[in-house]
Amino acid sequence: MESIAAQLDVNPNVFIAGVVIAALAVAYSAYKTLLPSKPSGHSKAALVKVPFPEACDPDWDKGRILENPMLRDPANPDVITCFDPATGRFLGTRTPTTRKQVYEIVARSKKAQETYQKSSWQLRRDILATFHEYIIREQEGICRVSARSSGKTMLDATFGEIIPTCEKLLFTIQEGEKSLSPEKRSSGTMSFLASARVEYVPVGVMGLIVSWNYPFHNVISPLVSALMAGNGCVIKVSEYSGWATEWLQSLVTKVLEVHGVDPALVTFIDGFAEAGEALVESADKITFIGSPNVGKLVMRHASATLTPVVLELGGKDAAIVFNDCEYDNMLKICMRGGLQNCGQNCAGMERMIVEAGIYERLVKDVSTLLGSLRLGTPFEENVDLGAITMKTQIRIMQDLLADAVSKGAVIECGGKVWIHPQYPQGQYFEPTVVTGVTSDMKIHHEEIFGPVFLIYKFKTEEEAVAIINSTEFGLGSAVFSLNYAKAERVAAQVKAGMCNINGWGFSYLCQSCPFGGIKKSGFDRFGGVEGLRGNCHIKAMTTDKLGHLGIRAQVPPILHFPIQKEAVGFQAALIEIMYSFSVWDKVVGVTRLLKAVTGGNGASKKNN
């Protein structure tokens, strides 16, 4: 220390003090950045214990292996058949909720919500804190439920089920009250004696129709917002993740009961189209996560009752990769972005648009890496990728690849179904790289929803922007470059609901940001302040600003009914006083107003 101080010609004691202060500043900054702040109101979590299904045990093998796993067994089409997509093992059946039952469930939720909407912010935070504590404590069991239900690896489950749910809970606990409390607004010019505010009133019962790719997060995340806003919830889970419904209901019921809340507030339902239609018909607002085609059906059905809907309909997400990117880091981020959950993500990376200088290198590196990945069941050791949850999605990928190859595309690696040596009924697809894709191919336009990378080459910024904007979707995107001015310039031109510079998915992990897309990817948002307020009716309120002093807004006598002949002149003069930019015009307005009040003509005679 002393030698360094001598070189800098600084008093050693001063130098040491400066180092200590700098170290403390760095430590404090790290603390604020890396550690979550204390929840507002010091939320208190209750301890709940909910047993996990027996099939969550990695060694469980009691379920028979189905010869041809499918949701609706032709021999028993009135029930939902649940099976493990990684092995084909039978998990059980679920009875679809009838239309009448959905109406009754929604009615019970509405009744419970009438009481719950009056609950304190503290109670709502405590409920969310209990969920948060449970998730951290039982994260392994939750990941096992997800893995068994959807076929994803345990690591993919931690990325997709645990981390974003914890982020959502912490953000909502810390920021929910502030985001949903009455917000003061300016009173305007003419209504200067009024105090204006906006209030966020719970909609009532949120109907959630969610997808299967994240059986836990996809239901808990929107439920968190609904509960914080004071709503009830009826949640239709996907048929493909119905096996987890009973456990999810047990967990939510236990959390509500331990905090003295009527468990009828939140109910999970199973079913096919009839259950979804009934929920759209009876809930006060709908959040739908799924495909564009089904989203259109939901919107059409909601139009009959003018029920508002939030639609999140997937994407064709892409990254623009420039020569001057931090190559190794970019490659690792993009592989996680495209291969997370075997590519079964609405905001998964499907396209890489790469500058010519590194194109050949990247194609080679990605193909080599993907060719070395290991597929298998979630509970096997050293497995990189899990199963494809929907068998129909495998056929879609095969059709898209066949069409692309017939029109000149090249499959650099993968492109085939993979057969598990022990579980041939499992549903797997090799990670795939495709080059030479053009806009006349279906694969360029349609969502793949699998472990497939389309890699394009570009030479100019304009070409890169044209490629990324050439699909009908607009959900997520990324730009990789160490030239931040260029990256910002290009990102501003990308037509998408989200864009990350030198990252992927950070806009979702930042739960303060809204999540959603444009174009065919849907509309409205969940996540962030916007998502919380989307669970509410927005109500404008005014009151007397100085009412406590006996001063209230009044209509001037000259404007009372019956109308006096001087009223128009008075109003014209008043408008001039209140809204003119020019001080002189305001003075002229005052004189005309006085004339109108005293019986003269206050109408403006200015030449325009």
Question: What are the structure tokens assigned to 129, written together?
Answer: 């804190």
Residue type, 337: G
Q: The tokens of 497 are what?
A: 């609901």
Q: Is 196 left (phi over 0), alpha (psi -120 to 50) or beta?
A: beta
Quote the DSSP letter at residue 71.
S
Secondary structure letter of residue 511 according to DSSP = T
pLDDT at 486 over 70: yes
Q: What percentage of the chain exceeds 70 in pLDDT?
A: 92
Residue 541: its pLDDT value, please? Answer: 97
Task: Check 138, 312, 447, 576 and give the catalytic one.
Answer: 312
Q: Does residue 154 contact residue 147 with C-beta atoms inside 8 Å?
A: yes
Whole-number pLDDT of residue 381: 86
Q: Which of 239, 318, 203 minimizes the C-alpha distance to 80?
A: 239
Question: Residues of 379-396 as b/e, b for ≥16 C-beta within 10 angstroms?
Answer: beeebbbbbbbbbebbeb
Q: In the beta sheet, which residues pair with residue 80?
A: 94
Q: What does residue 138 show for φ and ψ, rounded to 5 degrees? A: -110, 30
Residue 41: predicted pLDDT:
54
Give me 167's structure tokens: 């982020």
3-state helix, strand, coil in the chain (%, to 5): 45, 15, 40
pLDDT for 310 equals 96
Provide the pLDDT for residue 28. Answer: 54
The amino acid sitting at 228 is: M
Task: Say whether the peptide bond before residue 58 is cis (omega within 30 degrees of 0).
Answer: no
Q: Over the stretch 397-406, which tens digit does the pLDDT of each residue have? A: 999 999 999 9
CB 113 within 8 A of CB 212: no
Q: Are strands 522-523 and 309-312 parallel, antiparallel or unpaired?
A: antiparallel
Query: What would the pLDDT profile of 161-211 be if each residue is shown by its tens digit?
Result: 999 999 999 999 999 999 999 999 999 999 999 999 999 999 999 999 999
Mean pLDDT of the region 221-245: 97
Q: Which domains does the chain have, with CATH numbers?
A: 2-34 (no CATH), 54-313+531-540 (3.40.605.10), 317-520 (3.40.309.10), 555-608 (no CATH)
Q: Are 171 and 561 in contact (CB under 8 A)?
A: no
* Amino acid identity at 266: V
Of 529, 534, 515, give the one whose Cα is nearest residue 164. Answer: 515
Contact 358, 321 (CB under 8 A): yes
- Closest residue by Cα to residue 520 from 471, 448, 450: 471
Q: pLDDT band at 23, cuts 50/70/90?
A: low
Q: Average pLDDT in the 569-597 region?
A: 92
pLDDT band at 604 (very low <50, low <70, confident <90, very high): very low
Cα distances from 21 to residues 14, 28, 132, 283, 417, in angstroms, run 11, 10, 35, 57, 60
pLDDT of residue 187: 93
Torsion of CA 288, 289, 293, 298, to 10 degrees: -10
Q: What is the per-residue pLDDT across 550-559, written as a single tens digit (0 to 9) for each?
A: 999 899 999 9
Question: Tokens 């160490």 belong to which residue?
Answer: 482
Q: How many residues does the chain have?
A: 608
The two tokens of residue 234 are 């009826």
Q: How far apart are CA 146 and CA 139, in angstroms?
A: 11
Q: Are strands 183-185 and 500-501 parallel, antiparallel or unpaired?
A: unpaired
Distance CA 255, CA 224 (A): 12
Q: How far apart are CA 280 and CA 309, in angstroms?
A: 9
Give the whole-number percent of the chain exceeding pLDDT 90.
87
312 included as an active-site residue: yes
SS3 141: helix
Residue whose C-alpha is closest to residue 259's, from 43, 536, 51? 43
Q: List phi, psi (to 5°) of 320.
A: -95, 120
Q: CA 368, 406, 392: angle at the middle one, nearest 5?
A: 75
Taking residues 525-540, report their average pLDDT: 96
Q: At residue 511, does pLDDT exceed 60? A: yes
pLDDT 10s digits, 72-106: 888 888 999 999 999 999 999 999 999 999 999 99
pLDDT given at position 595: 86
Greater confidence, 375 or 608? 375
pLDDT given at position 139: 98
Among 12-16, 121-125, 178-182, 198-202, the range scoring the smallest mean pLDDT is: 12-16
* C-alpha 357: how far from chain center: 35
Pairwise CA distance, residues 165 & 143, whole Å? 12
Residue 157 has pLDDT above 50, yes or no: yes
pLDDT at 19: 59
Render 399-460 in DSSP notation, one character per residue.
Answer: HHHHHHHHTT-EEEE--SB---SS-TTS--B--EEEES--TTSHHHHS---SSEEEEEEESS
Q: How far apart are CA 600 and CA 568, in angstroms?
A: 12
pLDDT at res. 5: 46
